[in-house]
Amino acid sequence: MRTGSAPHNLRIGFYVCHCGHNIAAMVDCPEVARYVERLPGVALSRDYKYMCSDPGQELIQKDIREFQLNRVVVASCSPLLHEHTFRAATEAGGLNPFFFHMVNIREHDSWVHTDRKEATEKAKALARAAIGRVAHHRALEVKRVPIHPDVLVVGGGIAGIHAALTLAHAGKKVFLVEREPSIGGHMAKFDKTFPTLDCAACILTPKMSEVGSHPNITLWSFSEVTQVDGYVGNYTVTVRRKARYVNEDLCTGCQECIANCVYKEPKFNDEFNEGLGRRKPVYIPFPQATPQMVLIDPEVCLNFKRGVLTDKCKKTCVEACGEKKAIDFKQQEEVRELKVGTIIVATGFQTFDARRIPQYGYGLFPNVYTALEVERLINASGPTGGEVLLRDGRQPKAIGIIHCVGSRDLKTNRWCSRVCCMYSLKLAHLLHEHSQAEIYNFYIDMRTPGKGYEEFYDKLLAEGVQFIRGRVGEVTDWAMTPEEEGRLVLRVEDTLAGFVRRIPVDMVVLSTGLEPQKDAQEVRRLFNMSCGSEGFFLERHPKLAPVNTFTDGIFLAGACQGPRDIPDSVAQAGAAAAEAMALIDRGHIEQEPNTAHILEDECSGCKSCIPLCPYTAITFDEDRQKASVNEALCKGCGTCVASCPSGSMVQHLFEDEEVFSEIEGVLAD
Amino acid sequence: MKFSYFPGCSLKGLGRAYEESLLPVLRHLGVELEELPDWNCCGATAYMAEDEVKACVLAARNLALCESSGNQQLMAPCAACYLVLNKTKHYFHEYPAMRKTIQHALGAVGLNYGGDTPVRHPLDVLVNDVGLEAIKQKVRYPLKGLKIAPYYGCQLVRPYSTFDDQYNPTTMDRLLEALGANVVRYPLKTKCCGGSLTGTVPKAGMRLVYILLNEARKRGADCLATVCPLCQFNLDAYHAQMSARYGPVPIPTVYFSQLMGLAFGLSEPELGLRRSAVAFNWRPAEVAA
C-alpha cells in the first residue's frame, strides 16, 4: 500500500441536501451539517433544500471563491443522477472537478430506513467517510475518445425500422440486424391498426422497402448478434448470419423456385400466418417480405435430412432458378464483425402463451384462437383470404373476445399489456364487419388512454358490440341447454349485473398479453443491460431517460422495454435515434478517468494481471519487462488492481489511501 | 417409503371402501403405512366454518402426533382432511398469531408442532413417488375398454395446488391411463359435487349431482373415478333422490384405488366394490371370463 498523507492546507466544503422531504424527512440534515463542521479539514458545512437547483450550484461556486475551498463534498442522491451536476459546479468554481466527491444519503439511507435517529447517524458515518476520502483526491483529466459514427439497430420491427430510417435520413450509416428472414416484426402480421383502421401493411411496407433500398442502411436479415465488445463510441459486434441456402446477391425474388418445388402443394407450418396457413420448404415469408428473397427450410426440404445435406432431391427449384444460380445448398452460416459507435436495441416482445391458462381451452378446442391468429384470419392476404372461417370451415354466429389473457393476473403476468383493450376493440369491429357475428367482449376494465382511443370505444358501443365486465372463468364444451350443444360456452361472472352467466359462442378470441422475449435474459447480458422484475429491458430513468440504458451508447426502442403500441414505439424509436445522433455529432465521448495505471518502478513483470483483464487492456512491454495499460480500453473494473501481488497496479479515484480513508471514516465512532 | 396414515372419520365410516381398497393397493406397491396413533378429527366440516382457530388446533394435533411418531410424512387420503391439514400448515407459517395459539394449545397437552411435516395425498405419492412405470408393472388385468370420467372435486387442488394444476389437474388421468383404461375428457373434473348441500339444501345439491352424472353419461363414461369420500358419497348415495327429480343416471362412482385393485388383480372382497349404491359391475375381460 502506498501511503501519502493528506495535504495540510485542506479546506473542504460540505453540503447536505434536504431533497425536499426525500432526505430531510428521515435524516436530520442541520444536525449532519453541524457534525461535519467539526471534522478535521472542513472549512465550511451547510445544509440546503435543493443542492441540484441553480442557487444550490451557485452556492458551491461562490463558496469555493469566497472561502478558498479546495475540496467539495455533497451528500444527496445517487451519483447516477447528479454527480456530473456537482462536478460541473466544482469546475465552474475554479477547481478540478475530481476534487468533488458525492455521498448518497437518499437511496442508501433516507429511502430505505424508518428510524430517523439511526438514519441520521448513518448519514454522518457516510459523510465522515467522504471527508476522509476526498482529502486524498487528485486532480484528474477527462479523456476524450473519438466516436465511431455508424449505428447498429438490433431488431427489424416497426421500432427498429423507424430508428434505422431516421438515422439513415440524417446521413448516418446504419446496420440493421434482424433475426427472422424478413423485417416487419409483429406489425407486418396485423390487419388494420387502431383507432384509425388504416391497413397495417399499407403504412408499414413503404417503410420496409425504403429500409431495403436505402444507401445508408445495410440490412442483415436472418442474422443474430452473438457478441458485443468495446465501449461507447467503439463497439465491435459479432453477427451470425444464418444460412438461407439462397445467395442474397443473386436472388431476384422472382419466386420461380417456389412454383417449381417438388412439393406441388404447400405442406408445412407457415410461421407468418401463425400456423393457420401452409408453405413449401422453399418460401418467401410473406408477399411484401424485405429483403424480397426466398429461403429454404432445411428441416423439411427433401435435399436435406433433418437439416443435414443429402443432395437426394431432384432439385427442380435449381432448374427453375436457371442462369441466376441463386440457390446454394452448400451455403454455410457466416460470422461477421461490425464496428459501430452506438447501438439501438429494438428486439420487441412475444405474446403470452395461452396454453398456460388451460381453462381457456387454447390448443384443446380448435375454435379458440389467439388475437394474433385472428389478425391473420381477417387479413385479405391471410390463409382464408380474409373470410372469417373457423378451423372446421363454419362461419361463426357468435364470437367471444376475452381480454387480459396473461395480463393483470397474479398467476401469470401482473402487468397491464396496454394494447389489448384497443386491439380487442379493433378485432371486434373487424370480425363483426367480416362475419356479421354477434360479438361479446369480456373485460376487467376498459383502458383506452390515447388519442382517439376512447372515441373508438364509443363507436364500438354504438355499433352494438356487447361488453360484459368480468374475467371469464372458463371456456368449456359442457353444454346445459340444447342451444349450447356443440358450441363453446363462456362462464363468467357479470360483475355489473351481479350474477354468473353462460354465453354460448362459436369462436373464442384470446387477447393475449405482451411479455419479454424468451431470450431477453441472454440479450440483456449480450448488451450489458438490466431487466426489470418482469423481464423487460430497463431504461436508465423511467421518466427522464426512457430510451437510455445503464450502458452508455446503448439505447432502447419499442416493446422490448415494456408493452406499447405502434405510435409509442415509433416515438420511442425516434427518440433513441436522436440520442444516438447526439453522441455521434458531438464526435467524441468523455471517459471517466477511473482507469488503472502501472507504477513502473514497482512492477515486477509477473504478467499475472494480463489474462485477468476482461477488456484486454493490459499488454506486456518486452523491452522494459513491465505491464502497460491501454487507458482507452480500460473500463476501470479494478480486477488487475486487486490481483497485483506487488501493489504496483493502481486505479484513479480508487487509490489505496482513498479507499482506506473511506473505510476508516465509515467505521470510526 | 413409509408414511403416517391419517384415515380421518370418512375412511372408517362412509368411505370405508376407500380404505379397504387403498391399503392393499399401497401394500402391493411396497408403500408402508402406519396408522397415526390416537388421531382425532381433522377439523373439517362444521368446525372450519364455525371456528377456524379451533379447527386448526385440531388439525395441528394430528400434525404434531405425526412428527412425534418419527415418520417424515403424513398421508391423508380424504380430500377434506388433506385440505385442512395443508391449510393449517399454511396458516402456521403465514400468521404468527395462529402459530402462537396452536403452539400454546399443543403445549398444554405436552405436544409440539414444528411446521415441517409434508401432508401428502395418495394420488400424489402414487404418481410422483412410486411412479407410473412401477404401477404399470403391477397391472395384471388392464382395464381395457373401461371408459372413466376422472373426477377430482374441489379440495384436492384448490386453493393449494401442491402437485397439480388448479383448474386442469391430470394426475389421476395419467394414473388411470397407466391402468389401461380409456379416460374420457371430462370438463367438470373440478366442479362442485354438492358438498353438504345434498343434506342442507337438497334442491341445489341434487342439481349439482345430476349435472356431474349427466355430463359423464353424455361423454360415454362407464363410471366416475374419485379421490374424495364426500364426492363419492354424494354422487352414489343420493342417486335415488336425484333420480326422483331428474330421472335415473345410473353411472357408478368408484375410488381410483378400487380401480387400481381391480387392475392389480387383488381379491375382490378386499376392494369394497359391493358397498356402493349404484352397482359397479364392470370387470376386466380376463376376470369376467
A209 touches chain B (CB under 8 A): no
Q: Could you tell me the residue ranges of all domains in chain A?
A: 1-142, 144-242+333-348+518-591, 243-331, 351-515, 595-651
A359:B211 CB<8 A? no
Cβ neighbours of A359 in B, within 8 Å? 167-168
pLDDT given for residue A171 in this prediction: 98
B168 touches chain A (CB under 8 A): yes
A409 touches chain B (CB under 8 A): no
B168:A478 CB<8 A? no
Please identify which residue in the block is written with the cell numbers 395384471.
Answer: B140
A68 touches chain B (CB under 8 A): no
- Nearest of A581, A517, A553, A577 to residue A237 by alpha carbon: A553
A478:B215 CB<8 A? yes
Residue of A nearest to B190 (CA): A359
CATH of A144-242+333-348+518-591, one of 3.40.50.720, 3.10.620.30, 3.50.50.60, 2.20.28.10: 3.50.50.60
For chain A, what is the largest distance between any 2 Cα atoms, rounded to a whole number of angstroms? 97
pLDDT-flagged residues of chain A (< 70): 1-7
For residue A515, the distance in angstroms to the closest alpha carbon of chain B comes to 22
For residue B103, the distance in angstroms to the closest alpha carbon of chain A comes to 32
How far does CA A550 lie from the centroid of its chain? 11
Report CA Rg, chain B: 19
pLDDT given for residue A1 in this prediction: 40
pLDDT given for residue A2 in this prediction: 43
Of B167, B188, B215, the CB nearest to A359: B167
B204 touches chain A (CB under 8 A): no
How far, in Å, are A394, A667, B27 from residue A387 at the CA level? 11, 75, 61
- CB count in 10 Å sphere of residue A129: 21
How far, in Å, are A479, A664, B46, B246 from residue A74 at the CA level? 71, 19, 65, 82
Residue of B nearest to A474 (CA): B167
For residue A360, the distance in angstroms to the closest alpha carbon of chain B comes to 10
Q: What DSSP string runs through A98-164?
A: GGEEEEE-IIIIITT---HHHHHHHHHHHHHHHHHHHTT------EEEE----EEEE--SHHHHHHH
Considering the domain A595-651 in this protein, what is its CATH number?
3.30.70.20
Count of residues in chain A? 669
B167:A476 CB<8 A? no
- CA dihedral sign of residues B181, B184, B190, B191: negative
Tally C-beta pairs within 8 A across A and B.
13
Tens-digit pLDDT profile for residues A342-374: 999 999 999 999 999 999 999 999 999 999 999
- B135-288 under CATH 3.40.50.11810, yes or no: yes
pLDDT given for residue A5 in this prediction: 52
Cβ neighbours of B165 in A, within 8 Å? 358
Which CATH fold topology does A1-142 show? Rossmann fold (3.40.50)
A358:B215 CB<8 A? no
pLDDT-flagged residues of chain B (< 70): none
B165 touches chain A (CB under 8 A): yes
Cβ neighbours of B188 in A, within 8 Å? 478
Which CATH fold topology does A351-515 show? FAD/NAD(P)-binding domain (3.50.50)
For residue B218, the distance in angstroms to the closest alpha carbon of chain A comes to 10
A358:B165 CB<8 A? yes
What are phi and psi for residue B213, nearest 5 degrees? Answer: -70, -40
pLDDT given for residue A306 in this prediction: 87
CATH of B2-120, one of 2.130.10.10, 1.20.1050.140, 1.10.1660.10, 3.40.50.10860: 1.20.1050.140
pLDDT given for residue B45 in this prediction: 76
A366 touches chain B (CB under 8 A): no
pLDDT given for residue B48 in this prediction: 86
Please identify which residue in the block is written with the cell numbers 446504419.
Answer: A174
pLDDT given for residue A7 in this prediction: 65
pTM over 0.90: no
pLDDT given for residue A6 in this prediction: 58
Residue of B nearest to A357 (CA): B167
- CB count in 10 Å sphere of residue A614: 10
Chain region(s) in chain B for CATH 3.40.50.11810: 135-288
